[in-house]
Amino acid sequence: MPVTPYHFGPAGLIGYIFRKWIDLPVFVLANVIIDVEVLLNRFMDLGRPIHRLGHTFLIGAVIGAGWGLAAYTAMPIFKWFMEKISIPYRTNAFKMIISGILGIWFHVLIDGIYHYDVIPFWPMKKNHFWRLLTKNQVEWICIACMAILIVLYIFSLKRQSVKKTIKPNLPA
């Protein structure tokens, strides 16, 4: 993607829908963290290809597992944040590691469709995802996913609000 924020829509939507099995913040942040490779490449002026081994399923899995494990040490921060935005949060180390891997893989899949220089199945040299959709289609899908995520989140907040007002005040 030309700008990582496009990844927030699909990653947020998938993570939100499957939050029972996927650690939402780890999954979403994995979609951003992998682009540190691109930023370093540009900052260090390493030239082409811009997307290197981190943008592969093999090396991405190692990076994702490392991210999930590192995120486990910050679990209290994630728990606090999720409570602040009123999303129930239960996790464990295994769920966080798997979510890190899946988050990176999801990013690689989207970037594989969008960028010609991503080689998802490295060491194979061909990008089998390149141009399954046009760049414009990918961008609109990402924006639509963000819109759907926002609507689902608002409905969830409204439902929680209704549950709180209906719940009778019982003596303690």
pLDDT per position as a tens digit, 88-122: 899 999 999 999 999 999 999 998 898 888 888 88
pLDDT of residue 115: 82
Q: Which of these, 95, 93, 67, 78, lies nearest to 25 by C-alpha position? A: 78
Q: So what's the pLDDT on residue 5?
A: 74
User: Would you state the pLDDT for residue 171?
Assistant: 62
Task: Please state the domain extents for the chain.
Answer: 4-165
Q: Which residues contact 169 (CB under 8 A, 6 or more apart)?
A: none
Under 8 Å CB-to-CB from 70, ≥6 apart: which residues? none
Q: Which regions of the chain are under pLDDT 50?
A: 1-2
